[in-house]
Amino acid sequence: MAIAYGDPQLLNLGLLLIRLIFGLIMAAHGAQKLFGWFGGYGLAGTGGFFESLGFRPGKTFAAAAALSEFVGGWLFTLGLFGPIGPALILAVMLVASISVHLRNGLFATTNGVEVPLLIATAVVGVALIGFGTYSLDAALGLATFWSPGLIGLALAVGVIGGIANLLLRKRPTTPTV
């Protein structure tokens, strides 16, 4: 395996840093939706927002998104079960990108697709590289289970899950003034 700087220790530390930051923030984002923690709206408030986007019943779709973010974030943080956590996060970021952000352009300053695109890219990149030495997969001997084919399959299931959610979407409601 070719490592750019020739130091596997730096590669493993870099992967750990990416997993900790992206994974914990994603889990916290899911906790906002799921429990109302960290200034979130909980399932009731998030469900209402999902209804306005055309996802009905809103609370059910909100729960699915929240669980995907929360569980996917924790799996990614811990480096557990290979591409499953990244696939869960990818599905949610795909739905968020298309249903909320894409119409606003690229950059986050206009609520564009920038942030979900960055998150999706980071988790897919790590899924393709592997979680590294400092992961539960490595500690439990699970890292070698994830062949390139299984990684690709898991990520494809994430994409299909996101597309399926988008296909179940109804016409969004327009707020009345």
Question: pLDDT of 57-94, one tens digit each?
Answer: 999 999 999 999 999 999 999 999 999 999 999 999 99
pLDDT category at 11 given cuts 50, 70, 90 is very high
The pLDDT score that the predictor gives to residue 7 is 87
Q: Is the peptide bond before 57 cis (omega within 30 degrees of 0)?
A: yes
The pLDDT score that the predictor gives to residue 177 is 46
Tell me the chain's radius of gyration from C-alpha atoms: 17
Distant-in-sequence contacts of 111-120, Cβ < 8 A, 24+ apart: 117/93, 119/22, 119/26, 119/89, 119/93, 120/89, 120/90, 120/93, 120/94
Q: What is the mean pLDDT of residues 34-54?
A: 96
pLDDT category at 42 given cuts 50, 70, 90 is very high
Of 8-12, 100-104, 133-137, least confident by mean pLDDT is 8-12
Task: Give the separation between CA 53 and CA 97, rounded to whole angstroms.
Answer: 12
pLDDT category at 124 given cuts 50, 70, 90 is very high
Task: Give the separation between CA 82 and CA 146, rounded to whole angstroms.
Answer: 6
**Count of alpha carbons within 13 angstroms of residue 31, beta-carbon side:** 11
Which sequence spans correspond to the domains of the chain?
8-168
The two three-digit tokens of residue 33, written as one number: 């939706």
CB 46 within 8 A of CB 38: no
